[in-house]
Structure 1
Amino acid sequence: MTTVALLLLGAVLAFAIASPRGLPEAVVAVPAALAVLVLGIVTPSAALEEVRALGPTVGFLAAILVLAHLADALGVFRWLATVLGRGSGGDPRRLLVLVFAAAALCTAVLNLDATVVLLTPAVLATAVALRLPPRPHAYASVHLANSASLLLPVSNLTNLLALQASGLTFLGFTALMALPWAVVVVLELAVFAVFFRRDLRRPAEPVVPAAAEPAPRTALVVLGLTLTGFAGSGLVGVEPVWVAVVGAAVLAVPAINAGATSPRQVLREASLLFVVFVLALGVVVAGVTSGPVGRALADSLPSSTSLLALLGTATLAAVLANVVNNLPATLVLLAALGGGAPAGLVLAVLLGVNIGPNLTYVGSLATLLWRRVLLARGLAPSVGTYTRLGLITVPLTLVAAVLALWVGLRVGGV
């Protein structure tokens, strides 16, 4: 039965990665989940428990995606593009630094999908307007969509899963991941400056950037208050999902009144079919982890938070993310760790599944989505460039992030 579960998981992932005719991932994931139930690989009670466990997490994801859409509808990313252009002064190196800052902040606050889908087009438009090579800035968007999603629980679905498994509060999670996040962003920037040095040469006659648009103050204030609400929600016993829902509801009023979006579009941006996909994927993964594969992983994972244990766990997570994609890798490894695992090991898994996808296209769905965004704009990304860049950044940043996490755990006494 384990073989059947693995085959079903492989079929779900292959369909999600290939996305034939743009069909939603749930088209295959739901029948696969039903199959593991009918075949008795997963009991109905276990499947229901899995759905209940994932429910608040994917609900939060839907709310964050709506929040990002409303921010875009109210002009946040158009404004940001002009700010990047003016701030760079036509200098590609300065623009790269600003893109890194914008991508790191956007990923942390609004989720990595917002960086890929909304910020990347703004970055490309800025580079084109300044007549600068877009390559460094385009690759910066996708790298930081993955690796800069380490900071906050809201930054990535994998983070939300890890937060639930770690037992940490929102602020506790952020405190432990702040140093690894900062180290990774700085190291990536240094590598990009060298790797793309030819593209980053200052042009002989820099283009004068266009004047910046007025700041969308309402949207920026609501986003700031929402982020503050995330940080304080644990102190008052409120689930972060409700903070996200309130923030989205507040932004929806001016966005709909201005005709920038519609109730139907807002509902579409919640990606309800993707939510169904994640729930179904969780059931299929439960069929894998309940058998010999899950037991083998559980036996191979350490139980301590020594430096070597953290490094080994993060490396395994990174490899697995590039084999089966980072979302199922997270589900599999967290299930293998089991309840009550040290928070440090859970966060080590997170380092691997968030940084690891910078090595191959299949590492995360966000990377595949980024590729489609570029192709839609006539820019074909290079597999060779992506892989060479990943071979440099992933080992370097993964080791540095693990060291930073180990220091944070020792200082914090976790």
Structure 2
Amino acid sequence: MIEGMVAESLSVVALVAVLVCAVVRPFRLPEAVVAVPAAGLVVAAGAIPWAHVREEAGRLGPVIGFLAAILVLARLCADEGLFRACGAWTARWAADRPRRLLGSVFALASLITAVLSLDATVVLLTPVVFATAARMGVRPRPHVYAGAHLSNTASLLLPVSNLTNLLAFTATGLTFTRFALLMTLPWLAAIAVEYAVFRRFFAADLDAPAEGGTGVEGPVRLPRFALLTVAATLAGFAVASACGADPAWAAAAGALVMAVRALLIRRTSAVTLVRAAQLPFLAFVLALGVLVRAVLDNGLGGALDRVLPEGTSLPALLGTAAVAALLANLINNLPAALALVPLAAPSGPGAVLAVLLGVNIGPNLTYTGSLATLLWRRIAHQHEHAVGLREFTLLGLLTTPASLLLATVALWLALLV
């Protein structure tokens, strides 16, 4: 019994230490610098058996492979000028009208998040939004905050839109297309709530006249090769799913096509491609998975199982989404998904999708809810844009509960069809 208590305490302390370091990032060190040794310590102490370590590695392997491929693909698309072209399009469409620019950013961020994952929106689109707002001479706050919120909310649509979705996709037993069909209505509902609140919350910024801008950028070359490759990769996700293959293969094929072309025309190098894959972050994801499994094995799994509702009735779905959102804000959405997906799976795909609503929409409530939000905050600070805790939290309180409620009701209706 004492050994069990020690194992439980060690697992919890290690997980908390890793999450704190992921938020604070002391000396700007990669998250893996703490996570990998912590996972090794937990394994060496016997808090998790080797069989469970191998099982977790086998479960996360394809997910990590997909993530690496999609990160490389997004980086190469940026090098081709895809995001710059998107910024020029939004500026021309907005025509110096901030409210139209907000609508354009919402549409663009939602699409990029859904197709190229939330990391592309945070890392690659956010700087473009800053540059576009500066050229137009409009206040950047509403548009920059839109990128932060939509990197979470708009990641509901496809299995490939978020790392949490990839973790849950296999557990749902759904095809790629069926997953997308079930999540379309919740995706639209959540984005609509966000847009309505943003228009009111940032009314003063959106009504302020444009001043000091340099004008809309001239014609920008449309990167057709990048667009065609992304479209083919997206189609490949659906084909792979229908054939029983992992989406990682389609992502790898798309990244390989872009990488070979970029290398041939000397637009990139092998070192740059390896850096784009963010290997330290991939190691962090694997280590985090082992730590969460250790905590679940040593007591947390039973506690969560007792509070998680069973079934797919509307009250059960609402309860599941609420528990997932709360846990995401307490321990971050990635470990929350790792912990809750296996517990929700016996209740069917609807319950797993409700978990995704909670862990994807819920993080908009706090800074620490998702790694994407933390990364967005760092990028905002690099552009000398202050992000206030009070403003962020107030905006989260106005959007998150309503978005989660309507999205869950929309999921319930989609499951009835």
Q: Which amino acid aligns with 1:269?
A: A
Matched, 1:80 2:66: no
Q: Which amino acid aligns with 1:279?
A: L
Name the counterpart of 1:276: 283
Deviations 1:105-140 (A, max 9, x none): 000000101000100100110001000000000000
In the TM superposition, what are the counterparts of 1:116-135 in structure 2 within 5 Å? 116-135=122-141
Q: 1:296 aligns with which of 293, 300, 303?
A: 303
Q: Which amino acid aligns with 1:270?
A: A
Matched, 1:187 2:200: no
Deviations 1:142-183 (A, max 9, x none): 000010000011110000011021111111111110000011
* C-alpha deviation, 1:228, in angstroms: 1.0
Q: 1:161 aligns with which of 160, 167, 170?
A: 167
Gaps of 5+ in 2: 1-6
Does structure 2 retain, via aligned residues, the 8 Å contact 1:294–1:335? Answer: no
Q: Which amino acid aligns with 1:7?
A: V
Once residues 289 and 2 of structure 1 are traced to their aligned partners in structure 2, the CA distance between those partners, rounded to angstroms, is 9
Name the counterpart of 1:335: 342
User: What secondary structure, in the 3-state scheme, does the structure 1 residue paired with 2:207 have?
Assistant: coil
In the TM superposition, what are the counterparts of 1:205-224 in structure 2 within 5 Å? 208-224=215-231
Once residues 52 and 244 of structure 2 are traced to their aligned partners in structure 1, the CA distance between those partners, rounded to angstroms, is 28
Once residues 205 and 364 of structure 1 are traced to their aligned partners in structure 2, the CA distance between those partners, rounded to angstroms, is 35
Does structure 2 retain, via aligned residues, the 8 Å contact 1:326–1:363? Answer: yes
Once residues 211 and 363 of structure 2 are traced to their aligned partners in structure 1, the CA distance between those partners, rounded to angstroms, is 37
* C-alpha deviation, 1:259, in angstroms: 3.3
Q: 1:227 aligns with which of 230, 234, 248?
A: 234
Moved more, 54-63 or 236-245: 236-245
Q: Indicate how the Cα distance of structure 1 residues 131 and 204 shifts in structure 2: closer, same or farther if over 3 A, else same.
A: closer
Once residues 263 and 149 of structure 2 are traced to their aligned partners in structure 1, the CA distance between those partners, rounded to angstroms, is 33
Q: Which amino acid aligns with 1:246?
A: A
Matched, 1:239 2:232: no
Q: Indicate how the Cα distance of structure 1 residues 170 and 83 shifts in structure 2: closer, same or farther if over 3 A, else same.
A: same
In the TM superposition, what are the counterparts of 1:12-411 in structure 2 within 5 Å? 12-201=18-207, 203=209, 208-337=215-344, 340-411=346-417
Once residues 341 and 275 of structure 1 are traced to their aligned partners in structure 2, the CA distance between those partners, rounded to angstroms, is 30
Deviations 1:32-61 (A, max 9, x none): 111221221100111111111110011111
Does structure 2 retain, via aligned residues, the 8 Å contact 1:107–1:114? Answer: yes
Q: Which amino acid aligns with 1:317?
A: A
* C-alpha deviation, 1:291, in angstroms: 2.2
Q: Indicate how the Cα distance of structure 1 residues 280 and 84 shifts in structure 2: closer, same or farther if over 3 A, else same.
A: same
Moved more, 202-211 or 363-372: 202-211
Identity of aligned residues (%): 52
Does structure 2 retain, via aligned residues, the 8 Å contact 1:127–1:133? Answer: yes
Once residues 210 and 312 of structure 2 are traced to their aligned partners in structure 1, the CA distance between those partners, rounded to angstroms, is 53
Q: Which amino acid aligns with 1:309?
A: A
* C-alpha deviation, 1:202, in angstroms: 5.4
Figure out how many residues of one structure are paired with residues of the other and give that number. Answer: 410
Once residues 157 and 341 of structure 1 are traced to their aligned partners in structure 2, the CA distance between those partners, rounded to angstroms, is 22
Name the counterpart of 2:4: none
Deviations 1:346-381 (A, max 9, x none): 111100000011011000000010011111111121
Q: Indicate how the Cα distance of structure 1 residues 206 and 84 shifts in structure 2: closer, same or farther if over 3 A, else same.
A: farther
Q: Which amino acid aligns with 1:307?
A: L
Matched, 1:7 2:13: yes
Deviations 1:70-111 (A, max 9, x none): 000111011111111111101000000000000000000001
Once residues 349 and 3 of structure 1 are traced to their aligned partners in structure 2, the CA distance between those partners, rounded to angstroms, is 26
Using the size of structure 1 for normalisation, the TM-score is 0.97
The structure 1 segments of at least 4 consecutive aligned residues displaced by more than 6 Å after TM superposition are none
* C-alpha deviation, 1:204, in angstroms: 6.8
User: What secondary structure, in the 3-state scheme, does the structure 1 residue paired with 2:316 have?
Assistant: helix
Does structure 2 retain, via aligned residues, the 8 Å contact 1:313–1:349? Answer: yes
Once residues 208 and 251 of structure 2 are traced to their aligned partners in structure 1, the CA distance between those partners, rounded to angstroms, is 41
* C-alpha deviation, 1:254, in angstroms: 2.6
Deviations 1:316-347 (A, max 9, x none): 1111111110001111112333x534111111
Instruction: Give the superposed CA RMSD.
Output: 1.3
* C-alpha deviation, 1:253, in angstroms: 2.4
* C-alpha deviation, 1:256, in angstroms: 2.6
Does structure 1 retain, via aligned residues, the 8 Å contact 2:318–2:408? Answer: yes
Deviations 1:235-268 (A, max 9, x none): 2233211111110111112323333321111111
Using the size of structure 2 for normalisation, the TM-score is 0.96
Q: Which amino acid aligns with 1:287?
A: A
Once residues 268 and 107 of structure 1 are traced to their aligned partners in structure 2, the CA distance between those partners, rounded to angstroms, is 21
Moved more, 233-242 or 141-150: 233-242
Once residues 341 and 161 of structure 1 are traced to their aligned partners in structure 2, the CA distance between those partners, rounded to angstroms, is 17
* C-alpha deviation, 1:292, in angstroms: 2.2
Does structure 1 retain, via aligned residues, the 8 Å contact 2:137–2:210? Answer: no
Once residues 288 and 237 of structure 1 are traced to their aligned partners in structure 2, the CA distance between those partners, rounded to angstroms, is 32
Deviations 1:181-226 (A, max 9, x none): 0111111111100000010015277964122301011111111111
Once residues 131 and 384 of structure 1 are traced to their aligned partners in structure 2, the CA distance between those partners, rounded to angstroms, is 26
Does structure 1 retain, via aligned residues, the 8 Å contact 2:138–2:210? Answer: no
Q: Indicate how the Cα distance of structure 1 residues 5 and 204 shifts in structure 2: closer, same or farther if over 3 A, else same.
A: closer
Does structure 2 retain, via aligned residues, the 8 Å contact 1:136–1:196? Answer: yes
User: What secondary structure, in the 3-state scheme, does the structure 2 residue paired with 1:21 have?
Assistant: helix
